[in-house]
Structure 1
Amino acid sequence: MKILDKYIIKKFLGTFVFMLALLSIVVLVVDVQQKSPRIESNGFTVGHFLLYYYPFWIIYLIVTFMSILVFISVIFFTSRLANNTEIVAIVSSGASFHRFSRPYFVASSLIAIIALIVNHFVLPWANIQKNTLEPYTYTEIDREKLLGNAAITTQLSPNEYIFINSYNKKEKRGSGFSYQKYDKNKKLIYQLSSSDVAWKKDKNYFELNSFLEKTVLKNDSEILKNGSTRTISFGHPPEELFPDQLLGQNKTTPELLRFIKREREKGNGNLNTYLNELYQRTSMPFSIIILTLLALSLSSQKKRGGLGVNLAIGIALAFVFVFSFEALKVVSENKTLTPLVAMWLPNIVFGPLALVLYFRRANQ
């Protein structure tokens, strides 16, 4: 590796680490200050959250904004190189712009590979820890949606359904339980109902109280059975049977793929939230290379206004990029776009733009 490569990679990674540390500290202080009243109102201390929530939240934050941090870092240190006429000196010495760009690609590819591994395997572990306490940082209304009582309707297979009139996800118990099974002609052949249901984690089954069991025979006659208590297992815990929007974040990619496949087989048509999570894990790291190319093209020429103009342009584009991902998630969940298209659309738009600007800059 040449002296030039080492110099630029050192600048690249040094600026990136500095930006990473600065963002983490600033956002952590602001977030703790904002959320501390909610944390304390739920019976926790801020110290408890600093130990068991925020270290994992920081990992989530870094991964979410990594591509933007790389973009701003490249804008920042490349603008300084341009203002100090270092780029002019390098190109004047006989090195082409493509040769000058090589260490940028090496450094951004290294960060992208690390981000890819973290997204698919490390972040889900951090999310499990984070999401355990996450609801206690929400407003009371949003917390109630995740942990409070709600009606449950879920499909176990194309012919099997579970209905619960009121189920508490925190306590994992509910009232008004009904399990129904139909034949291929959509005729009810089996029903199990109970006044209440509770999950027994140590035994891996549901316990039903005051149950009524009905089996419909081929001649339409019925066999009825009732009792005070019985158990039933559906092969999965409540978190899998009644998933919320946070579940996909907690699974490594192989686990998420198996979960999506199982939900498809069940006939669940509301999978876009989990598909968005799946595709974003790859598209976001890939965007690091695209945004590095874009930042290099925008900031490698000395401009009137210097560093401030380049940073202003960079921050504006960063906001557009982040907002586009979040907006497209909503669009995808409303089934206007497929998750694959939605999560890759920012890269599809910014990629050609970055290439055009790069080759225009290289040919100047």
Structure 2
Amino acid sequence: MKILDWYILKRYLFTFLMMLLLFIPIGITVNLAEKIGRIIESKAPFGEVTAYYVDFTVYFANLLFPLFLFLSVIWFTSKLANNTEIVAFLSSGVSFSRFLRPYLIGATIVAAFALFLGMYLAPMASQGFNEFKYKYLKKNKKIQQTRDVYQQINDNDYIYVSNFIPKSKTGFNFTYEHFEGNELKYKIFAENIRYFEADSSYRLTSYLKRSFENGIETVEKEKRQNMRFPFELEDLTPVEYAAETKPYGELLDFIESEKRKGSTNIGRYEVVKLRKWSLPVSIYILTIIAVAVSSVKRRGGMGANLAVGIAIAMVYVFFDKVFGVMAEQSNFSAVVAVWFPNVIFGILAIYLLKKAKR
């Protein structure tokens, strides 16, 4: 690489690293100030608190990677523009596309690391981060419940509960259906179901079983009935963040399994999967936008470029969050939700790049 490439690439990577080192301690301090009361009250061990903030660092660094990079590129490119270094580069016969090359090399390095982080390191951090949060930080909040859980356990069995309280291991309005082929063989109803860990059994209250054999229906009723079922307690308490905690290979298997079970959280899981690929792409897009916006020397200097950059970043975050929530909580396509912001800002990047070249 030429001297120009090394000069810009070192500034690119160094400024990005400094941006991370600057904002991560601020994020930890703000989070600690907000959570310190609950941490002390829950008597969380110091080692677990330390591990939580290590996981917190990786978890949020992964989420905010593109934005940190975007602001760092605007910062150092604006300094180059204010020092008229960009004018000197272009005046020496270097084209704008050639000037952009080290930025794209830097984006490739960061995108490769972001891909590795999202595939392997971030899932492990998410596991520890969420487990600590639910164990200590939400301990005294309103009792957590899962609602309207409908699962296909295997080829023949289906379960449903209207809501389930993990703390007491109790579900309400439970049904269990067993099919053989397309024929319903029996169906079990109960007002509530409670799990007993000692013998891995379930106690059903107001138990009712309807069996069908050769067109004849038989009904069995009991006030209470202890039973074992071919499903795990986790099938009644699907964890919303489950997909975030799995490496990419396990995530693919997990999504296929949840599809077979008829899980209602497929949209959320698909968003997690697709974002692992969209995030590295967004690094290229935001890098190009940042260079196009900040390579022009403005009357307001670096402050004007940062203001424009922050405004663009906020719009990007808005699109990303709104469409992500739509896919997680409705039948809206996860592919459209995840890639739409990149498509829109990719078009914006092409427009701004052409404008900057002129």
Deviations 1:249-308 (A, max 9, x none): 111222222222122223335411111111112112210000000000011111111100
Say if 1:71 and 1:291, in contact at 8 Å, map to a contact too: yes
Matches within 5 A, 1:242-321: 242-321=237-316
CA distance in 2, matches of 1:225, 1:337: 42
| 2:228 match: secondary structure | strand
Return the match for 1:217 from 213, 220, 223: 213
1:241–1:278: structure 2 CA closer, same or farther, 3 Å change rule? farther
User: Hey, what does 1:179 align to over in structure 2?
Assistant: 176
Are residues 1:207 and 2:201 paired? yes
User: Hey, what does 1:5 align to over in structure 2?
Assistant: 5
CA distance in 2, matches of 1:155, 1:91: 63
Please list every run of 5 or more consecutive structure 1 residues that lacks an aligned counterpart in the other structure.
Answer: none
CA distance in 1, matches of 2:57, 2:325: 24
CA distance in 2, matches of 1:151, 1:274: 17
Say if 2:146 and 2:238, in contact at 8 Å, map to a contact too: no
Say if 2:184 and 2:212, in contact at 8 Å, map to a contact too: no
Say if 2:185 and 2:212, in contact at 8 Å, map to a contact too: yes
1:217–1:225: structure 2 CA closer, same or farther, 3 Å change rule? farther
User: Hey, what does 1:360 align to over in structure 2?
Assistant: 355
Say if 1:59 and 1:123, in contact at 8 Å, map to a contact too: yes
- Report percent identity of matched pairs: 33
1:250–1:239: structure 2 CA closer, same or farther, 3 Å change rule? farther
Matches within 5 A, 1:37-116: 37-44=37-44, 47-48=46-47, 50-116=49-115
- Letter of the aligned partner of 1:265 in structure 2? R
Are residues 1:23 and 2:23 paired? yes
Q: CA deviation at 1:71?
A: 0.5
1:317–1:188: structure 2 CA closer, same or farther, 3 Å change rule? same
Q: CA deviation at 1:171?
A: 6.0
CA distance in 1, matches of 2:120, 2:305: 35
Say if 1:194 and 1:212, in contact at 8 Å, map to a contact too: no
Please list every run of 5 or more consecutive structure 2 residues that lacks an aligned counterpart in the other structure.
Answer: none
1:2–1:219: structure 2 CA closer, same or farther, 3 Å change rule? same
Matches within 5 A, 1:89-168: 89-135=88-134, 136-138=136-138, 141=141, 144-145=143-144, 152-156=149-153, 160-164=157-161, 167-168=164-165
CA distance in 1, matches of 2:182, 2:228: 28
CA distance in 2, matches of 1:269, 1:287: 28
Say if 1:206 and 1:232, in contact at 8 Å, map to a contact too: no
Say if 2:143 and 2:165, in contact at 8 Å, map to a contact too: no
CA distance in 1, matches of 2:32, 2:334: 33
TM-score, length of structure 2 as denominator length: 0.87
Q: CA deviation at 1:177?
A: 5.3
Return the match for 1:351 from 336, 340, 346: 346
1:233–1:160: structure 2 CA closer, same or farther, 3 Å change rule? closer
Deviations 1:131-177 (A, max 9, x none): 11122334955x623xx586754333576322447643256565775
Q: CA deviation at 1:2?
A: 1.5
Q: CA deviation at 1:193?
A: 6.2
TM-score, length of structure 1 as denominator length: 0.86
CA distance in 2, matches of 1:254, 1:240: 21
The CA RMSD over aligned residues, in Å, is 3.0
Deviations 1:318-338 (A, max 9, x none): 111112211111222343631
Q: CA deviation at 1:229?
A: 5.0
Greater mean deviation of Cα atoms: 225-234 or 332-341: 225-234
Greater mean deviation of Cα atoms: 105-114 or 162-171: 162-171
1:189–1:108: structure 2 CA closer, same or farther, 3 Å change rule? same
